Amino acid sequence: MGGNCRLAFAFGHRGDTFHGSQVQPNLRTVQSSLQEALYELGFIKKTNVSGQPCILSSRTDAGVHVRMNIAAIDIPEAVWDGMGESGFLTAINDQLDGDIVVWAAQKAELNWNPRRAISRTYRYRLEGCFDWRGAEKKKFYEWLNVFVGQHDFNNFRKVDEVP
Does 94 qualify as catalytic in the annotation? no
Task: Please state, in angstroms and rounded to a whole number, the distance separating the CA atoms of residues 30 and 163.
Answer: 30
Task: Please state, in angstroms and rounded to a whole number, the distance separating the CA atoms of residues 91 and 85.
Answer: 10
Query: CA angle at residue 8 from 79 to 112, to 5 degrees?
Result: 110
Q: Which residues, including other chains, have CB under 8 Å from residue 33's CB and lie 6 or more apart? A: 18, 96, 97, 99, 100
Which residue among the candidates 61, 74, 81, 152 is catalytic per the annotation?
Answer: 61
Task: Please state, in angstroms and rounded to a whole number, the distance separating the CA atoms of residues 112 and 146.
Answer: 36
Q: Which residues, including other chains, have CB under 8 Å from residue 15's CB and lie 6 or more apart? A: 60, 61, 62, 63, 64, 65, 66
Q: Which residues are catalytic?
A: 61
